[in-house]
Amino acid sequence: MQKYLCEFHKMKSVFLHCHASKGAKRAAVEAHKVLLKEQTETLVKGLTAAEKAKLCQEDALEHRNLMNEILREAAYYNFPKMYLISHYAEQIPKFGALKQYSMDISECMQKGFKEAYRQSNKVNATAQMMTNYTRDHTFIIKDLTIDIWNWIRQEEDLTANVRMGPQTQM
């Protein structure tokens, strides 16, 4: 597990553009525009096609390196799931695996809130989410109650024709 975590940290630069802030992305785009403007000004008309192609490749590499450098400086990986993963390798040998624990339960609990947020107009979303989530749960509980009543009625019908035993007859 520790080996895979180290491998992830070596390769996490692939995700730099995902974890940089909007300001950093904007700064990278601005730097790209400035660099592109500088490079177009320095193009010499007397170059051959091969020299121009080579210059374009070098410019593209410089663009990529500049963007990666700006994003790398602004990127962050300080979020709870990454922090928790770093402790798993120590905790599992110490306490053992939790056989009954699953993330499916907590992920499933979030689905209702995510759907409620999507249905809100994003203005005062919390109140709308709670109303929507409560309404949905109320309907689910009512449906379950009706199912239980139907089940009880069926059980009563099944036992209605059963004869009484000798002790209860008189």
pTM score, whole prediction: 0.33
pLDDT per residue over 42-99, tens digit each? Answer: 665 667 778 777 877 887 787 778 777 777 776 666 666 677 777 887 888 888 776 6
- What DSSP letter does each residue of 99-134 carry, written as one string? TT--HHHHHHHHHHHHHHHHHS-SSSHHHHHHHHHH
Angle between helices 49-74 and 22-41 (to 10 degrees): 160
pLDDT at 9: 78
Q: Check residue 145 and give its pLDDT.
A: 94
- Sign of the Cα pseudo-torsion (84, 85, 90, 93, in order): positive
Give the contacts of 79 (CB within 8 A, at least 6 positions apart). Answer: none
What's the pLDDT score for residue 146?
94
pLDDT at 122 over 80: yes
Mean pLDDT taken over the chain: 76
Per domain, the residue ranges of the chain are 102-170
Cα gap 144→147, rounded to integer Å: 5
Residue 43 has a pLDDT of 61
| Mean pLDDT of the region 145-159 | 83
Residue that wins the pLDDT comparison between 46 and 143: 143
Does the pLDDT at position 170 exceed 50? no
Selection from 115, 144, 117, 114 nearest residue 128 by Cα: 117
